[in-house]
Amino acid sequence: MSGFLELAARRRSVRAYSDRPVEQEKILRCLEAARLAPSACNAQPWRFIVVDDPELKDRVASRTSGGIVPMNYFTRQAPVHVVLVLEPANLTSRLGSAVKGKSFPLIDIGIAAEHFCLQAAEEGLGTCILGWFDERGIRSLLDIPRRSRPMLVLTLGYPADAPDRPKKRKPLEQIASWNGYHGSRPADDA
């Protein structure tokens, strides 16, 4: 396996980070990869807030863990947090979302986040995409306007450990079919 498939296999959710600082040029390349992500009607409904000031980063991390359901206690280890903010989409994207009953901007945010994470993996960095956090607290800490919504927090840093296990994923036969929902895979001898 090489190329993109190898990169996709290498990317993982990292929950233990070293204290090694992340070089700004690597962060900029991750942001550039995210900037190049496709979006419905080219709306680009996102803003990335890079939080690398240690004190502010710890305050953001405290908004990603604890509460009623204790989660994400590893986030304080990550030297960088990137808050992905949903911005109002352009008119055609909003109309398309309404007509089709799909939130195209949310789909776009997911694509941009994964572009960022794949570039991070290419740079030797680890990430974890978080959707569970104190949105109001993050909004206040980072002065995010009311018309915009913090949707994801990406932790970023050098992994503290090497991946020790293969990814657990469903077999291809359970997630893909040909020519219909219940279709089967073409014969290998064709």
Q: For position 167, what pLDDT does the model report?
A: 85
17: which DSSP letter?
B
Q: Which two tokens stand for residue 137?
A: 């607290």
What confidence category does residue 166 fall into, taking pLDDT thresholds of 50, 70 and 90?
A: confident
Q: What is the mean pLDDT of residues 91-110?
A: 94
Q: For position 163, what pLDDT does the model report?
A: 73
C-alpha closest to that of 168 among 13, 18, 28? 13
Contacts of 2 (CB under 8 A, 6+ apart): none
pLDDT in tens, 65-96: 866 666 888 999 999 999 999 999 989 999 99
Q: Which CATH superfamily is domain 18-159 in?
A: NADH Oxidase (3.40.109.10)
Q: How far apart are the first and last CA of the chain?
A: 23
pTM: 0.92
Q: For position 67, what pLDDT does the model report?
A: 67
Contacts of 109 (CB under 8 A, 6+ apart): 45, 46, 84, 86, 151, 152
Percent of the chain surpassing pLDDT 90: 78
160: which DSSP letter?
S
Place of tokens 């109309």: 95
